[in-house]
Amino acid sequence: MKNPQHDEQNEGGDVAAEHVRIFDTTLRDGEQTPGFSMDRRAKLRMAQMLEALGVDVLEAGFPQASPDDFAAVAQIAGMLTTTTACALARCVPGDIDSAGRALASARRSRIHVFLSTSPLHREHKLNMSKQQVLDTAVAAVEQAMKLAHEVEFSAEDAMRTEPEFLVEVFDAAAAAGATTLNAPDTVGYMMPAEIAERFAYLIANVKRGKHVVFSSHCHNDLGLGVANSLAAVGAGARQVECTINGIGERAGNAALEEIVMAMKVRGAWLGTDTRIDTRKLYPASRLLTELTGQNVQRNKAIVGANAFAHESGIHQHGMLKHRGTYEIMRPQEVGIAETRLVLGKHSGRAALRQRLQALGHAPDEAAMDDIFARFKALADRKREIHDEDLEAIALGQDPDAQGPWRLLQLGTSTHLGGSASASVKLRHDDGREAGEAAIGDGPVDAVLRAIERATGSTLDVTEFQVRAVSEGGDAQGHAQLVARHAERDWRGQGVSTDIIEATAQAALAIVNRIERQAPASAPVVVAHL
């Protein structure tokens, strides 16, 4: 590791940080994970984002796995302009030939060959002797050298391989032409101190150690993928293999966004940097969740929903005084618009007053006492208090009030290969009843359009989620809609065993909240779907 005091004294530019290559394997190691597979169009979109992000090497796939994988790698290879296109291959002639053909149109290509080296794998997976492993690795690298601009050799299960034999294998691979040597912790077994010691040993003992790039590829079985990757970098590894959101086999791979931001925030300590445009980290994370349908946990570092959110009154008070009290990086650095001071039961008066002022309310102390008491009572019943809740409290209304519109009847019909239709009948608290029907792209869209007509509103929803809140065939569905109106997000939710009914209730909740808080003469308008 670098000495942080020394580096801070030289941050003016006297000592240049060493570049660490970011090798992204989201589309290979990540995509082969159950539940995360992508079709070719999705892979192309993700590849474009990864190149814009600035990854040095993009492992596009395993061409020999299937004709579609081959086609995807070939398309991505022909599309990339600044990022090296990489294809994975076992140390098998057919695999290597497929990888070479898939990369034929790449501006810069790399074939990544791998072979198990540990005693466990040699005996139970390969049934090979040490000499057979050495001979196979050399033959594979020599074949790959004829088919790509550069070759990377990976010793699968390297961290459970005898260190002396691993040096022997790496010596042979480097002599055959491999310029990147990858020592993966395939099963996420190692501790950071062990990883650092092993990389230091390899760099010191591989004959061509000064002329090749050592690479780290860490899995997260013990939750140490990122820590082990950074330990390898500290010991001299100058390539890190990782994935967006940390997706990958079993518990996943080291998360790209965490590694990159650790090097950015603690660059003085590590003495390294990357060429990643960190402002695209959050957009890349969001795109991956969109393409796979798999969300990241809320407390995920860097890109989780809570990464830059504060609910504790103590933390919020500190943040209002100085951002650095509870944040070590700015949300804008990773592509998130701003820090969120989440209002909940742990929030204090300072954060509540700040949010009320942002909404245009400036209560005196007496009014603030009443608002704060009502806010705390509501917060005990709800996980999070939103702007529309605060508006209702500030105006002396009940945030949980129902109406004025209520759902009396709902019917839907879906036509295979065609559109869907819906009809609704609503009743207003003033005694009016309204019935309307509409056609939409699906039953949800049709219901929203019918409610628009019945209430005279315009429903432009920006977010829509449905999840089960119980189990079994009669499980209840929870629908949540978010709409933009008057430069503010409005939320509505509904629960029913029928998800279409739950959606209708959520849409009415938005219409009702805006109507209750709007001036009597103002029309109700909700943002678009």
Tens of pLDDT along 163-198? 999 999 999 999 999 999 999 999 999 999 999 999
User: Of the given ranges (129-133, 315-319, 322-326), which has the lowest mean pLDDT?
Assistant: 315-319
| Predicted confidence band of residue 469 (pLDDT cuts 50, 70, 90) | low
Give the mean model confidence (pLDDT) for residues 508-516. Answer: 84
Task: Work out the end-to-end distance of the chain between its first and last CA atoms, rounded to an integer number of angstroms.
Answer: 51
Q: What's the rounded Cα separation, in Å, for the pair 284 and 499?
A: 30
DSSP secondary structure letters along 371-397: HHHHHHHHHTT-S-B-HHHHHHHHTT-
Instruction: Measure Cα distances from 504 to 179, 262, 423, 457, 524 in Å.
Output: 60, 44, 11, 14, 17
Tens of pLDDT, residues 90-103: 999 999 999 999 99
Tens of pLDDT, residues 37-91: 899 999 999 999 999 999 999 999 999 999 999 999 999 999 999 999 999 999 9
Q: What's the rounded Cα separation, in Å, for the pair 246 and 225?
A: 9
Q: Is the pLDDT of residue 415 over 70?
A: yes
Give the mean model confidence (pLDDT) for residues 130-139. Answer: 98
Q: Where in the chain is the domain with CATH 3.20.20.70?
A: 4-276
Residue 414 pairs in a beta bridge with 420
pLDDT in the model for residue 344: 78
User: Which CATH class name applies to 405-517?
Assistant: alpha beta
Q: What's the rounded Cα separation, in Å, for the pair 289 and 203?
A: 37
DSSP secondary structure letters along 126-150: I---HHHHHHHHHHHHHHHHTTSSE
User: Of the given ranges (136-145, 158-167, 378-387, 459-468), which has the lowest mean pLDDT?
Assistant: 378-387
**Domain 4-276 coded CATH 3.20.20.70:** yes
pTM tops 0.95:
no
Residues 6+ apart with CB under 8 A from 145: 151, 176, 177
Contact yes or no for 434/452 (Cβ under 8 A)? no
User: How is the beta sheet containing 477-485 ordered, strand by strand?
Assistant: 461-468, 477-485, 488-496
The percentage of residues in the chain with a pLDDT greater than 90, rounded to a whole number, is 54
HSE at residue 223, side-chain half, CA atoms within 13 A, is 2
Tens of pLDDT, residues 1-47: 444 333 333 333 445 789 999 999 999 999 888 888 899 999 999 99
pLDDT in the model for residue 356: 79
pLDDT in the model for residue 517: 75
Tens of pLDDT, residues 224-263: 999 999 999 999 999 999 999 999 999 999 999 999 999 9
Q: What's the rounded Cα separation, in Å, for the pair 200 and 405?
A: 69
